[in-house]
Amino acid sequence: MTLARRLVAEGLGSALLLAVVVGSGIMAERLAGGNVAIALLANTIATGAGLVALILMFGTLSGAHFNPAVTLSEAWQGNVPAREVLPYIAVQVVGAFAGVAAAHGMFGEALFCASTHVRTGPAQWWSECVATFGLLGVIIGCSRSRPAITPFAVGAYITAAYWFTASTSFANPAVTLARSASNTFAGIRPADAPGFILAQLAGAAAATLLFCWLYPAAPAAATVGGTVAPGDFADTAGLTHLPEASE
């Protein structure tokens, strides 16, 4: 699979993910009649279901990261070449903003509008650290033990994390940045985004260290010296492992 195709898949998947998150949040808030719990429940169900569908759709193409924290973790594990990390993150962020614009357009909102939704403080930051730690744990643990269930496990975890974290589990730097441009139910004030992102990266780093120790990578013919051989790429979704075609 060429890098160009994988980048398009990552960008498109990130865009669709944000369209689901933001669009369902707008719809939920409009229909809930002021009941925030019902709005959050609707937003949660749509996000969890959409995430499963998107991972199944794009997992065999790009690995379905849709998340800079996941890409950095995969690179740390030797599954993503260093030269591909920045392109992956760039398309994830651009795609996420495109998804926000798409959602706003569907509901007659301005394409971008800075959020005024305050999300800050130690409890919120700790929530994001825990949420991202758990997400990376699910990804690493499932992809190394039961790869076929990874998309469903990720969707189920995010559905749960919406409710057991005070921050409603952003767990994704690209999502956090893009949601700062949405003054809707799913938004986050731009000034609060850096704190979330730092907490997410800390949680991802801790999870990568712990779960790679708990689930040692099995030796395979495709590895050289314990790292992925040139020409292979990471499949976070655990659906397949394909050789990269020459550019």
Tell me the average pLDDT of the chain.
91
Q: What is the pLDDT of residue 225?
A: 36
Q: How far apart are CA 173 and CA 152, in angstroms?
A: 22
Task: Read off the tokens for 99.
Answer: 């998804």
Residue 80 forms part of a structural domain: yes
Domain at 85, CATH number: 1.20.1080.10
Residue 92 forms part of a structural domain: yes
pTM, full prediction: 0.88
pLDDT of 61 > 90? The answer is yes
pLDDT in tens, 222-237: 333 333 333 333 455 5
Bigger pLDDT: 55 vs 219: 55
Residue 81 forms part of a structural domain: yes
Q: What is the pLDDT of residue 219?
A: 57
**Which residue's structure tokens are 């409710």?**
163
* Tally of domains in the chain: 1
Nearest to 183 by CA among 90, 119, 92: 119
Residue 227 forms part of a structural domain: no
Q: Which are the contacts of 175, defined by CB distance < 8 A and separation ≥ 6?
A: 17, 18, 21, 67, 96
Query: End-to-end distance of the chain based on CA atoms, in angstroms?
Result: 9
Residue 223 forms part of a structural domain: no
Structural domain range at position 24: 3-217
pLDDT of 208 > 50? The answer is yes
Q: Average pLDDT for residues 149-161, to the nearest whole number? A: 98
Residue 118 forms part of a structural domain: yes
